[in-house]
Amino acid sequence: MHRPKDHLLVLTRHGQSEGNLRNVFTGWRDLPLTEQGREQAIAVGKHLRERGVALDAAFSSALGRARDSCAHTLREMGLAAIPVRRDSALNERDYGDLTGLDKNEARRRFGAEQVQTWRRSYAVAPPGGESLRDTVARVLPFYIREILPAVLRHRGVLVVAHGNSLRALILALEGLSPDEIARIELDTGETRFYLLNDCAEIRSHGVWH
């Protein structure tokens, strides 16, 4: 009997950006990686290479911190020539009026409880911005239309994006509830993997440290 082969999907958050370093709501603001961020992206590539991970294609958001992280990771793996699709569907959640604000200043201005609600609730959006539900609504169709077919065509596919756009994917892939996804936070450079069979069913998944 034919045993379906596995296809690897690797999700990684970009390395530390200037926005992360300054503790501001970055959102769609296009701030570059720090030196530590570049080192984190290179470390992801080294880790994947040492694990013997084979990648045939990659995706990143349209924002520079994800694009550059993807490039550093692939270069470290010796895979700089593989095709990379960059798309704004994978961009970070839009923080609207919070964009550019120091997170402590935002708490003083709006109250810590309100800011925490904007940051971690599923359906409540900051003024002028997106909720996580809104982010799922743009990330999931792109995954179904572009990423999943690529995963099923190849041995391995890398996706480099952002904390919230990846949380949107994780929610959908793992079938998590809004309460469960609220408890998940990805560090810069954090990497997760999913093994899918030929029927697009997830056989196993986890976090690579």
The alpha-helical segments, DSSP class H, found in the chain are 18-22, 35-50, 64-76, 103-110, 112-120, 132-142, 148-153, 163-174, 178-182
Show the tokens assigned to 99. 């964009």
At 60 the three-state DSSP class reads strand
Catalytic residue among 7, 47, 92, 130: 92
The whole-angstrom separation of Cα 99 and Cα 91 is: 14
14 carries an active-site annotation: yes
92 carries an active-site annotation: yes
Which residue, chain included where needed, has tokens 């690529």? 150
Contact 87, 122 (CB under 8 A): no
Contact 125, 118 (CB under 8 A): yes
The amino acid present at 133, given as its one-letter code, is R
Residue 59 bridge partners (DSSP): 85, 159
Catalytic residue among 7, 14, 47, 162: 14
Active site residue ranges: 14, 92
